C-alpha cells in the first residue's frame, strides 16, 4: 500500500507535467509576438491598473533594470504609456493603452476559443471534474 507521501509525490509530478503541457499549449495560441515576460507585464497592468516600475518589477519578481527594458519595448510598440508620478518626480507610472488592452483581449479570446473547443470533446463527468478542480488549481497557483 502506498503511503500518503508517495501518492502526493506521484500526484505532484502528474499535475506538474499536465499543467506545464497545458500552459505551453495555451501560450502557442497567443496572437501576439510578445515574450512571456512582456505578456505577463501587460496582463498585470491590465488587471491591476497603473503602477510604478518598481511595483511592476516586484509583482513580476524581476530586477528593476530588466523591467525598464520590458516597459521600454512595450511603450515603443504602443502597448503601454509612461507618465510622470503625480507626487514623486523621480518615478514613472505605467499604464496599458487601448492598443494594449485590445491585444490582451484578442489573446484571451483566441485561447478561450481553443480551450472551449477542447472542452466540447469531454464527457459530462470530465467537465464536472474540471469544474471542481479549477478553484483548487487556482488556490495552488496562488499559494
In a domain, 22, yes or no: no
Averaged confidence pLDDT in the chain: 92
Starting at the edge strand found earlier in the chain, the sheet holding 92-96 runs 51-52, 92-96, 80-84
In a domain, 25, yes or no: no
Q: Per residue in 41-76, pLDDT tens?
A: 999 999 999 999 999 999 999 998 899 999 999 999
Cell of 20: 506545464
Of 141 and 82, which is predicted with more confidence?
A: 82
Q: Per residue in 78-111, pLDDT tens?
A: 999 999 988 888 889 999 999 999 999 999 999 9
In a domain, 7, yes or no: no
- SS3 string of 67-78? HHHHHHHHHHCC
Strand partners for 95: 81
Say how far apart CA 76 and CA 26 lie, in whole Å.
26
In a domain, 3, yes or no: no
In a domain, 117, yes or no: yes
Residue 90 domain boundaries: 31-142
What H or E segment, with its residue span, contains residue 92? strand 92-96
In a domain, 21, yes or no: no
* Cell 530588466 found at: 66
In a domain, 5, yes or no: no
Domain CATH code at residue 137: 1.10.10.10
* Residue 78 φ/ψ region, left for φ over 0, alpha for ψ in the -120 to 50 degree band, beta for the rest: left
Say how far apart CA 108 and CA 26 lie, in whole Å.
10
Q: pTM of the prediction?
A: 0.77
Total domains present in the chain: 1
In a domain, 127, yes or no: yes
Amino acid at each position: 500500500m502506498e503511503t500518503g507521501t508517495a501518492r502526493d509525490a506521484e500526484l505532484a509530478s502528474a499535475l506538474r507535467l499536465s499543467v506545464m503541457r497545458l500552459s505551453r499549449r495555451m501560450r502557442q495560441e497567443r496572437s501576439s509576438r510578445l515574450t512571456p515576460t512582456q505578456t505577463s507585464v501587460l496582463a498585470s497592468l491590465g488587471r491591476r491598473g497603473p503602477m510604478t516600475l518598481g511595483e511592476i518589477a516586484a509583482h513580476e519578481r524581476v530586477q528593476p533594470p530588466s523591467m525598464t527594458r520590458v516597459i521600454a519595448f512595450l511603450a515603443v510598440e504602443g502597448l503601454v504609456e509612461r507618465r510622470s508620478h503625480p507626487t514623486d518626480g523621480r518615478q514613472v507610472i505605467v499604464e496599458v493603452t487601448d492598443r494594449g488592452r485590445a491585444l490582451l483581449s484578442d489573446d484571451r479570446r483566441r485561447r478561450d476559443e481553443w480551450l472551449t473547443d477542447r472542452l466540447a470533446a469531454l464527457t459530462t463527468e470530465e467537465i464536472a471534474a474540471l469544474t471542481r478542480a479549477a478553484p483548487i488549481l487556482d488556490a495552488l497557483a496562488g499559494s
